[in-house]
Every structure is written in C-alpha cells, then in structure tokens.
Structure 1
Amino acid sequence: MQYAKLGRTGLDISPIAIGCMGFGDPSRGYPSWSLDEEASRRLVRHALEAGINVFDTANLYSNGSSEEILGRALKDFAHRENVVIAAKLSAPMRDGPNSMGLSRKAIMTEVDMSLRRLSTDYIDLYQIHRRDRTTPWEETLAALNDVVKAGKVRYLGASSMKAWEFGKALHLQESNGWARFVSMQDSYNLLDREEEREMHPLCIDEGVQTIIYSPLNRGRLARPWGVTTARAESEAVYKLGAATADSDKLIVDAVGAVAEERGVGRPMIALAWLRRNPVVAAPIVGALKAEHIDDAVASLSISLTDEEAARLEAPYTPRLDHQGVSDPAMLRRAAETATGYSISRLPVRELSKVT
C-alpha cells in the first residue's frame, strides 16, 4: 500500500478510507442496515491487513454505536499511532437543547463523547458533518481551534457545504491564526460531478484535498442499470437522479463496458476514475463485505487511458447538485459555460437536456 500526505499536511494516509456508517446496532438508530459488531470487526481487521489506515465514522452513525465498535476493533487489531481515525459531528444525538449543531457547547461536549466511545485520547481528523447555519462561523471555528490546542484533535476537516462557505471559513481561520481545515469530504463520482464547478478548484487553490463519500453513487456504479438494492431504495437521495436517468444509464453502461474489456469489476473502474483527479485524496469505501475492500484495493493497480476516461465522462449531464440547486435557469447557465470551469472536465450538453 502506497501512502501519501493529505493536502499540505504531514499526515500519511492510505489512498482508500473505510466508511464505518455500516457498523453498529440498528436498534440504536440510523442506518437500519448496519452490521453487528462481530461482522464489523472482521472488516476492520481485513482492511488493516490490506494496509488501509483511514477509518471514517461519525457520532450520528447508530447513535454512537459505530464509534464504539470501531474503537474496540482498532484497540485490538492496530497500533494507535499507525491508524487515522476520522470522526464527524453536528447531527442531533439526544433530545433537548444544545444536542446538535456546531456551537461551542456542542463541540466541547461531542468531542469528549466521541473520544470516550472511540476508546482513544485524540481524534486524527475531526470533521464538521454539515454546516450549522444557526451558529456564527467565528464561534464554531474558534471552538474547533481550541480542541486542537487542547490535544484532543490533530487535524480539522469539513464536509458538504457550498464553496463560498468553505472559502469564508478558510479565510476566517487564516485571518485569526486558527487551525485550518485540511480536507473536504464531498460527494463525487461519475454520476455526480457538480463539485468540479467551484469546490474542487477552490480546494486545489487552497491546498486542500477531498475525501470522497459515495464514490459509487450508492452502488449504482457497481451494478448494471436497473438493478437495485433495498438499501439504496430506502434512501431519499437515491431518487434525486430521475431527471438525468438517460445520461446516467449511458454512464453506467460505459462503466460496464470498460470493466468487461479489462476483465475487472465495475467498482474498480469507477474508483480508478476518481484517482485521475489530483484533488481526490481517497474515496470512502462503505464496505459491508470483505470483497468490497478487495475490489477497492485492486482498483489501485488500474490506470485508465484518456480514451477510457473520455468514454466514461462524455454522457454526463449537469444536474441538481447535492446542495439542492433546482433553478432551471441556473442549470442552463451551467451547461452553457461548462467548458469554462477551472478543471474543465464537464462536457457541454444539449441545453434541452438540462431544462
């Protein structure tokens, strides 16, 4: 396994991260399809044996059960200094006031609770799961800086917000001498490339790398078109792609064709495509089976040709982004100016397909 520095930091991370949303006790909350502790521990051990050292979890997952299971597994199977624990906060964890969000009170409470559940005295990468627009940025960022200064957190990361919001946060951190966000966790895959417009150019300019969630678009890139799962259909986000179904099918078919030509699985092609983008540090693989990890590791040996990448990218149609842009005029303007984006990877589409 080849490790690389995360952005401008000195932190060595594997090119694959294990997503731990599927670890936990379903009776304690979301998600309903999570694995029990025994199965989760097997996956953690399998990932460690493959050389993967990044494990991404959140206080929300199974209401803390994911953190508990991960903490116990890493304590049994790994040396703490060799692994990178990436945790997240902002979701509601209990009833009552101050039980969610990114206020100073919430941050100070949640970091201690996560440390306890993870059976560790520090978190390597502490990420804000969602922006709390009810709390001033200054309060949130000052509190995050304080948990770094206290030694409870090594690095800070962000997730799922507008590029202008992330840019403002980075400016405030730099202006005040606060610990800076070193990563952005965002949704990015062959069926959802909207982050190429603004977020990725911003990250490249700021020396921030992205850690990708949903690299297979909730499994849609891992199976033939029309084949689904109960897990996928249970998630509301899965239904948002209806407006771009025609182009999505062409992309899924192209992934299948390239995979067949190379004699490999579809997930390997979709993951190999992500590595072509220098802003991507690692995809988060939400493994529920050992073979999911094996496929991800195998993808590291695949280098797509420019011709293969073009076949995969060509059908893409600009769409609603994951922040909920729904203005047809905005989508029209996006399509008209697609080749002017900094990364210049979104192909121009017929306007009739995005209005």
Structure 2
Amino acid sequence: MQTIELGRTGTQVSRLALGAMQMGNATSEADSIRILDRYREIGGSFLDTADCYEWWATRDSRGGESEELLGRWMRAGNRREQVFLATKGSALPHYSPDLWAADGTPDWELARRTFAGAGAKTLRDALDGSLRRLGTDHVDLYYIHVDDLGTPLEETLEALAGLVSAGKIRYLGWSNVRTWRLERIRGLCERNGWPLPVAVQQQHSYLRPKAGAESASIVGAEQLDYLREHADQTLVAYSPILKGVYASAAKRTGHWMMANYAGPDADARVAAVEEVAAEVGVTPNQLVLAWLMQQTAPRVLPLIGPRTIQQFEDAVPALDVKLTGEQLDRLDSAGA
C-alpha cells in the first residue's frame, strides 16, 4: 500500500485508512480481527476509532467497545508499534436512560444536545479512558470528534497542547467542523505556540452537497479552497462511498445518505462514475475511492469503515486503479 504524508509532519501514513467504528458490535470480534489482519497483510497501518463507538448499539452502553477490541488485537500480536493509531473524544453523550427508546433505538437528537464536549478536564479524562482501553501510553492522532461551540477554543487548545507535551498524543485533528473555526484554531495556535491540528476529518465523497445543504460535517467548496491553501492539514474523508450508494440506482433511491446530495448534479456525476468505472473495469464504489486517493489539491485520505469482510475486500482493488489525466478531467468536470 502506498503512503501519504500527514499534513507537513514528515510522518507517512497509509493511503487508505481503516475505520473501526463497528468493530465489536455490528462486526463480530472474529470478523473484526480478520479485517484487521487482512488490512495489515496488504500494508495498511492507519487505524481510526473513537471513545464513543458504539454507545448507540446497546442500551446503557458507554461506548469504548471498538477501542477495547483494538487493544486486545494489538496486545495479541504485539502490534502497537506497527500501526498509526487515531482516536477521538468529545462526542460521547452524557448518560441518560432516555438515550434509548423502549425498542432500543437511540435518540440522536438528545445525544447531540448532551455531547461531552471539549472542556479541558473532559478531554483529559476521555483520553485517559481511551489509553486504558487501547492498552497504550499514547495515541498517534487525537481528534476533537464534534466541534464544541460552547467551550472557549483557548481552553480546548491549551488542554490539547498539554497532552501533546505530556507525550500522550503525537498529533492533533479536528472533525465535523466549519471552515471559519479551522481558521480561528489556526490563528490561536500561531499566537500561543500551540500545536496545530494536522488532520481534518470530514464527510467527503465524489458527489457534491446540493445547494442549501447545511452540515458542518460535509466538505463544501469553501472548505476545499481552504484546504488547498493549507497543505499542513490533510483531509481525512469519512463515508467516502456514502454507504455504497454508487453501487446501484435502487440503493440511491430513498437512501438517507442521499438527502444532502440528490439532484441533477448528483445524477450527472453518478453517470460519469459509471462510465469511467466501466472503462477501467472496476465497480463505481472502487472508482470513487481511487478518484479520492488521486486528488492532489487538496490531498485526500479516504477512511473506509467496512462492516463485513466482503465489504473490506470489495474496497481493496481501488488501491491498484490508476486513472488517466483525461479520465480525471472528465470526472472533475462532470455535473449539472
């Protein structure tokens, strides 16, 4: 597997990152280990998790199942030094029995109102919990999982700087964040000598958000412009294939993931994906992953989160796809 520099740190990470959100819940431990082993077999090393994964899957859960599984896997094969390990804090909601309905369905509206946030003590405690579950004394990358507008950025950034100085974190990242906040973070870091986040993890794919779509989590044109001008921050793209909606028209119809994309522009870009994928001899999902990995302005690092072994294997051929300049131009120019 090829590598990509993280920001301007000099550190090389896998060109395709593996998300462990569903590991230990929707994905059984046995299948999770098979996926992790296979990822290492093909040269992958960039693993991504979070302290909140997956509180919503089980009533009264406080998350941490994914971190615990990764900890067991790393200890079993003495693998800690073989991986670049990322986790996140701030998005675990405060406990309430009302977080789950009678049928076990999570109440996301309540969860979003009660996220733990990015206060100094909250982050210190959250990171210590993550390190304990992961069985390590440091993480390579630590994200603010959900940007916290209620806590002064100075408090958050100073606390994170202290955790970097203490050796518990190598690099910082931010997720689900608007562009104006990234610029404010940059200014504060420069003025105070605090470490700048080197990774920005956002939802990003080949389809473009439709006009009027409002989400701090999805990369838009302004954020792409910002990241082009600031190559010291790498775009880590989660949900790069949008739950696999490129696979078929039937899957796209009515799929909740399409709510922010559906329209003439999306239709035109899906048609371009299907055309080029047929030329190259890959699936549309594989084509989109390959397109993302060949972006240079800004550079994009796709983060896949397979639920099954087959979903993981379906993504692997994208690593070998080489698109021509003409094909890239055609894909880039497609749209209504």
On the 8 A contact 1:5/1:13 being kept in 2, the answer is yes
Q: How does 1:107-186 map to 2 (within 5 A)?
A: 107-186=123-202
> Matched residues in 1 for 2:95 and 2:251: separation?
39
On the 8 A contact 1:99/1:106 being kept in 2, the answer is no
> Matched residues in 2 for 1:210 and 1:310: separation?
21
Partner of 1:74: 74
1:241 correspondence with 2:261:
yes
1:55 Cα shift?
A: 0.7
1:275 correspondence with 2:288:
no
Amino acid at match of 2:173: G
Name the SS for the 1:202 alignment partner: helix
> Which sections of structure 2, spanning at least 5 residues, go unmatched?
55-62, 97-112, 210-217
The worse-fitting range, judged by mean Cα deviation, of 197-206 and 281-290 is 197-206
For residues 166-187 of structure 1, what are the alpha-carbon distances to aligned partners after superposition, in whole Å with 9 as ceiling and x for unaligned? 0110110121011110111111
Name the SS for the 2:50 alignment partner: coil
1:217 correspondence with 2:242:
yes
Give the TM-score normalised by structure 2.
0.83
On the 8 A contact 2:237/2:303 being kept in 1, the answer is yes
Partner of 2:322: 303
1:315 Cα shift?
A: 4.1
1:128 Cα shift?
A: 0.7
1:64 correspondence with 2:83:
no
Residues 281 and 256 (structure 1), Cα distance of their counterparts in 2 relative to 1, 3 Å cut: closer
Name the SS for the 1:146 alignment partner: helix
1:50 correspondence with 2:19:
no
1:99 Cα shift?
A: 6.8
The worse-fitting range, judged by mean Cα deviation, of 149-158 and 273-282 is 273-282
1:192 correspondence with 2:208:
yes
On the 8 A contact 1:67/1:118 being kept in 2, the answer is yes
1:98 Cα shift?
A: 9.1
The worse-fitting range, judged by mean Cα deviation, of 96-105 and 211-220 is 96-105
Partner of 1:13: 13
> Matched residues in 1 for 2:20 and 2:180: separation?
29
Name the SS for the 1:218 alignment partner: helix
Correspondence for 2:281 among 263, 266, 271 = 263
Percentage of matched positions with identical amino acids: 35
> Matched residues in 1 for 2:208 and 2:322: separation?
21
Give the TM-score normalised by structure 1.
0.78
Residues 99 and 185 (structure 1), Cα distance of their counterparts in 2 relative to 1, 3 Å cut: closer
Amino acid at match of 1:129: H
On the 8 A contact 2:86/2:142 being kept in 1, the answer is yes
> Matched residues in 1 for 2:142 and 2:34: separation?
25
Name the SS for the 2:198 alignment partner: strand
Residues 99 and 268 (structure 1), Cα distance of their counterparts in 2 relative to 1, 3 Å cut: closer
Partner of 1:24: 24
1:281 Cα shift?
A: 4.3
> Matched residues in 2 for 1:299 and 1:259: separation?
11
Partner of 2:106: none
> Matched residues in 2 for 1:37 and 1:251: separation?
37
On the 8 A contact 2:139/2:168 being kept in 1, the answer is yes
Q: RMSD between aligned alpha carbons?
A: 2.3
Partner of 1:89: 89
> Matched residues in 1 for 2:122 and 2:258: separation?
30
Residues 217 and 237 (structure 1), Cα distance of their counterparts in 2 relative to 1, 3 Å cut: closer
Partner of 1:251: 269
Name the SS for the 1:210 alignment partner: strand
1:125 Cα shift?
A: 0.3
1:303 Cα shift?
A: 2.0
For residues 134-153 of structure 1, what are the alpha-carbon distances to aligned partners after superposition, in whole Å with 9 as ceiling and x for unaligned? 10000010011111111111
Residues 238 and 75 (structure 1), Cα distance of their counterparts in 2 relative to 1, 3 Å cut: farther
Q: How does 1:298-337 map to 2 (within 5 A)?
A: 298-316=317-335
On the 8 A contact 2:85/2:141 being kept in 1, the answer is yes
1:254 Cα shift?
A: 2.6
Partner of 2:32: 40
Give the count of matched residue pairs.
Answer: 302
1:8 Cα shift?
A: 0.6
